[in-house]
Amino acid sequence: METLTDCIFCQILAGKKPARMVYQDETVAALEDIRPQAPVHLLVIPRRHLNSLREVSEEDEAVLGHLLSVASQLARERKIEAQGYRVVINNGNWAGQTVDHLHLHVLGGRVFHWPPG
Ligand code: 5GP
Ligand code: ZN
């Protein structure tokens, strides 16, 4: 499993940096965002380091699907499913990506607008 020593999320996954983990399995993990932008703001991340969606290939399809499946499961558990929630993946500078380890934002508990800022 690739682990980047200077990657915040790899450090969290390795237990070297504290985080409020809310879900873990063999391939993905989910944690509370440190600066929540909504009443519910979770990050779902693959254990294997991928910079962003720009680097994925066919071999990553299973984990990409699993990330979404876990996002859906967590939304149900957090009771944001009925009213609606947003799943966001920022990829690269113009999209506002600040941590270069692929992550799904799961946001809920308030109204979101479109188009996003
Ligand atoms: P991005 O801007 O890359 O799409 O999202 C990165 C997210 O990671 C931000 O929402 C930011 O608040 C969150 N974040 C950055 N550093 C940490 C950290 O050390 N722990 C946790 N739990 N979240 C972090
Ligand atoms: Zn990483």
* Dist. CA 103 → ligand 2 center (Å): 10
Task: Tell me the residues surrounding ligand 2 (ion) with CB < 5 Å.
Answer: 4, 7, 9-10, 49, 101
Q: How far is Cα 26 from Cα 86, in angstroms, rounded to an integer?
A: 25
Asked if the structure places residue 12 within a domain, the reply is: yes
Quick one: pLDDT at residue 55?
95
Q: Is the CB of 98 under 6 A from ligand 1?
A: yes
Q: What are the residue ranges of helices labelled H in the chain?
A: 8-13, 61-77
Q: Is 103 a catalytic residue?
A: yes
Residue nearest to atom 20 of ligand 1 (CA): 34
pLDDT along the chain (117 residues), means of 10: 82 97 98 98 98 97 98 98 98 98 98 96
Asked if the structure places residue 59 within a domain, the reply is: yes
Quick one: pLDDT at residue 2?
56
Cβ–Cβ under 8 Å, residues 108 and 83: yes
Quick one: pLDDT at residue 3?
66
Domain that holds residue 38: 8-108
Domain of 84: which CATH number? 3.30.428.10
Look at the chain and report how many structural domains it folds into: 1
Q: What is the pTM of this model?
A: 0.97
pLDDT tens readout for residues 65-85:
999 999 999 999 999 999 999
Query: Phi-psi region for residue 15, left (φ > 0), alpha (ψ -120 to 50) or beta?
Result: left
Residue 45: name the closest of 80, 70, 20 by CA: 70
Which ligand number lies closest to the CA of residue 95? 1
